[in-house]
Amino acid sequence: MTKRAYCRCNSGHYFTGEFCPFDGWSSAASKELAEAVEQLAREDRDLSLEELRKAGVSKNTLFRTIVVEFFTGSSAFEAVSPGVYVVNGETKTPHKLGAFFN
């Protein structure tokens, strides 16, 4: 099993690391998440939202974070660019979802 933590950029992309590969976006949140993921790996701790919280990751960063578990590392990806989300039964683009999605 392979776990990856993804940060959401203002365009709605999710990516690993400090910079979004689609548009170069970066923030204090993406930097904080990337550093925390490295710290957990060095300490051989599980990668989860709870472990990130315990490691001191801010709520602002956690609001932008998802953790995905893959059956195998060969199916894991570095970034994804969803064009449409379904939230509360409604289909919306990332830009129409409000503050918690950008």
- Extract the tokens encoding 81: 């660019």
- Extract the tokens encoding 2: 């392979």
Residues 5-45 pLDDT 10s:
999 998 889 999 999 999 999 999 999 999 999 999 999 99
pLDDT, residue 85, reads 82
If DSSP codes are grouped into helix, strand and coil, which group holds residue 1?
coil
Helices (H) and strands (E) in the chain, counts: 3, 6
Contact 27, 59 (CB under 8 A): no
What are the domain boundaries of the chain?
2-101
Residue 87 to residue 98: CA distance in whole angstroms: 11
What predicted TM-score, i.e. pTM, was given to this entire model?
Answer: 0.89
